[in-house]
């Protein structure tokens, strides 16, 4: 069987590896949003509507759980912000490629000015 090989068409303004990284992080938006909500729910000083951005999120670790192409566990470092990207905190969030929130660690809260 003849198989044609070609490169992935990257229709983004970033290099292919960055495009994959941003696409992966963005696809995990729901469990990351859930983690941020849980982390800051008892914080009396939290500004309204914390958000986060894929371009400002780091992938710290990817762990393969069940063989190639199976489920992966991903540890992210996320920087929640309010208003025009005013950082409010730093958090490590663990999710899997099934979109499940597995855990999180709050690292730092910045003061609000």
Q: Mean pLDDT in runs of 10 for the chain (113 residues)?
A: 72 90 97 98 92 97 92 98 93 98 98 82
The pLDDT, as a whole number, for residue 69 is 85
Contact criterion met (CB below 8 Å) for 35 and 81: no
**CATH code given to domain 16-109:** 3.10.450
Calculate the alpha carbon distances from 86 to 13, 46, 52, 94 in Å. 25, 12, 10, 23
Which residues are within 8 A (CB) of 47 and not within 5 positions of it... i.e. 6 or more apart? 82, 83, 86, 88, 112
| pTM: predicted TM-score of the whole model, two decimal places | 0.89
The pLDDT, as a whole number, for residue 4 is 62
DSSP 8-state code for residue 55: G
* Helical ranges in 1-113 per DSSP H: 16-27, 29-40
The pLDDT, as a whole number, for residue 8 is 86
The pLDDT, as a whole number, for residue 103 is 99
Contact criterion met (CB below 8 Å) for 25 and 57: yes
Q: Could you state, in order of their start, the residue ranges of all structural domains in the chain?
A: 16-109
């Amino acid at each position: 069987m003849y198989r044609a090989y070609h490169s992935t068409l990257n229709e983004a303004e970033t290099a292919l590896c960055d495009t994959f990284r941003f696409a992966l992080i963005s696809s995990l938006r729901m469990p990351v949003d859930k983690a941020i909500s849980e982390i800051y729910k008892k914080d009396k000083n939290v500004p309204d509507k914390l958000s986060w951005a894929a371009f400002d999120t780091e992938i710290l670790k990817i762990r393969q759980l069940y063989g190639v192409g199976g489920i992966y566990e991903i540890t992210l470092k996320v920087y929640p912000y309010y208003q025009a990207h005013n950082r409010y905190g730093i958090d490590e969030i663990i999710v899997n490629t099934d979109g499940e929130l597995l855990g999180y660690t709050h690292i730092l809260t910045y003061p609000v000015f």
